[in-house]
Amino acid sequence: MNYVGLSKEISYALRHAPWEYELELDENGAVDVQQLIDSLREDTKWQFVTIKDILKSMELSDKKRFEIKDGKIRALYGHSIPQKLIKEPQEPPEILYHGTARRFVESIMKDGLLPRGRQYVHLSSDTATASIVGKRRDSSPVLLKIYAKKAWDDGAKFYYGNETIWLADNVDSKYIED
């Protein structure tokens, strides 16, 4: 079983294109695991996929991308679907980080962090995670320091993703340090 491939396909289905899988996400972005399995099985590549394979791919994964609860599975972050998911704002840590490419920094320091293709801006709780995120786009990424608690105190909304990822609607450049 190609566990990385399975994780990528589930990410695509739950974050970006549930309709391609005839899945309807609830207001939290969750769907019955069995429905997801039935849908994946229509593809010969995943015709024998089981819940055990999904659990194994989550266990082997470098990141905590999904959560399974009460028979339902959801992506914890990364969504681009038009349906805005319900998330409860939560007070963030004092400082968060954002790893990005050098070529984006000027624009970010001017316009702030914008969600771009996704529903939320993605922030990291530690520099190691931010560095991994940034390296997807630049071999020497820039780690921006985000004064998250200050932004929260001023009314900006933050949302918990997982132990290392926080989400925000956007981040004004006055809370960002290059």
- Does position 60 bind ligand HQG by CB under 6 A? no
CA pair distance 23, 42, nearest whole angstrom: 13
CB 117, min distance to ligand HQG, A = 5
Residues 87-116 as x/- pattern, contact with ligand HQG by CB under 6 A:
-------------xx--x--xx--x-xx-x
CB 48, min distance to ligand HQG, A = 25
DSSP track, 107-140: HHHHH-B--TTSSSEEEESSHHHHHHHHHTT-SS
- Does position 119 bind ligand HQG by CB under 6 A? no
Residue 79's nearest CA partner among 34, 129, 108, 122 is 122
- Does position 13 bind ligand HQG by CB under 6 A? no
Q: Which of 10, 25, 58, 133 binds ligand HQG (CB under 6 A)?
A: 133
CA pair distance 151, 165, nearest whole angstrom: 17
CA pair distance 39, 60, nearest whole angstrom: 22
Residue owning tokens 């015709």: 47
Cα 111 to chain centroid distance, Å, stands at: 22
Residue owning tokens 């290392």: 164
- Does position 176 bind ligand HQG by CB under 6 A? no
- Does position 118 bind ligand HQG by CB under 6 A? yes
Using DSSP's 3-state secondary structure scheme, residue 158 falls into: strand
Closest to ligand HQG by CB, 48 or 62: 62
- Does position 163 bind ligand HQG by CB under 6 A? no
- Catalog residues that contact ligand HQG under the rule CB under 6 A: 63, 65, 78, 100-101, 104, 107-108, 111, 113-114, 116-118, 122, 133, 137, 165
